Amino acid sequence: MANTINTDTYGLVWRIKYFKTTLEHYLRKALVAEAICTVDRSDQKYISNPYVGQVTASVTTMAGTYAVTAFTTTDQTLEVTDQVTYGEHLFEFETTMSRFDLWADRVDEIGAAVATAIDKWCLNTMLSEAGSSYTTPAGGFTTAANFLSIMGALQSLVAGYADNTKGTFLVVENTDLAGIIPAMGSNGFSTADSVLRNGFMNSYMGTDLYVVRTGTFATATANTTAGTKTWTNSGHRMFGVKGVATYACPRGIHYDEKQVTLKTGRELSVWANIGSKVWTPKATLIVDITLA
């Protein structure tokens, strides 16, 4: 089958539509950030969230009088300043674009790479803005005996807040399952039987569990171009209440194919403009977990 990447206009339009649809679907399934944050895909680069000072009511002896407190407002903004990108050039003599199975595999690989980069950026940004902290017993999650006490301690940090209505989440790395799975399989009757039969459960003790690969929580410079964000999250994990942080991705994922001067074939580019914010009034509902 001939490679018609340069001349097949209809095929180009079809590929772009298929790619964008597939990539969006892939990212929405893969992203932990989408599951634990409030998602904003509007055209806004600046998302404003003004809030007033904490209100504290007082109890006094009945006298018919009261004290007046000054009203203060703080305007907090999420500004989308970062971008996840990927690009490559496919020459006319390459067969990737002329065979559907090869091209579909390429879509999956690019989708996985972009999803991983977005998740890593968003999760580390959220963790660096967490307003609560907790240190695990020695051995962290890899020690099965710690798991129930860790879960109890984490739940206690966010219990009693009115905002805790969408449920809680816990994000761990795959190596932590060495202790989590045995703990699940040894506590409770029907729950333990279910784990022994089916393996890891993505919800436990009322908390949704999400597993990312080792190295997701990192100590690194997030934006290698501008150096605007620095994470110190190696050896940390994250717990919190769903929906209290915002993940912004204006207009979603973008995809383009273009011809390049003096080169046959086409250049492929994928990019997403992203932003993430843990709003100050609710920062205590996100917990930075330090592994001991």
pLDDT in tens, 99-141: 666 666 777 788 778 888 888 999 999 999 999 999 999 999 9
Question: Which pLDDT score, from 0 to 100, does residue 72 have?
Answer: 76
State how far the Cα of 105 lies from the Cα of 203, in Å rounded to an integer: 31
pTM equals: 0.80
Under a CB-based contact definition with an 8 Å cutoff, are residues 106 and 15 in contact? no
Mean pLDDT calculated for residue range 29-47:
82
Structure tokens at 132: 């609560």
Backbone angles phi, psi at 193, to 5 degrees: -60, -40
In the numeric block, which tokens belong to residue 228? 């605007």
Written as six digits, the tokens of 18 are 């298929």
CB proximity list for 171: less than 8 A, separation 6 or greater: 32, 36, 123, 210, 211, 212, 237, 238, 239
Look at residue 223 and tell me whether its pLDDT is greater than 90: no
pLDDT band at 11 (very low <50, low <70, confident <90, very high): low
Q: Tell whether the model's pLDDT for residue 292 goes beyond 80.
A: yes
Inform me whether the pLDDT recorded for 183 exceeds 80: yes
Inter-CA distances, 141 with 116, 132, 239, Å = 23, 19, 13
Check pLDDT > 70 for residue 6: no
Which band of pLDDT confidence, cut at 50, 70 and 90, is reported for residue 181?
Answer: very high
Could you report the per-residue pLDDT of 45-98, keeping only the tens digit for each?
A: 777 777 777 777 888 888 888 888 877 777 888 888 888 888 888 777 766 666
Mean pLDDT of the chain: 83
Q: Is 150's pLDDT higher than 90? A: yes
Q: How far apart are CA 128 and CA 123, in angstroms?
A: 9
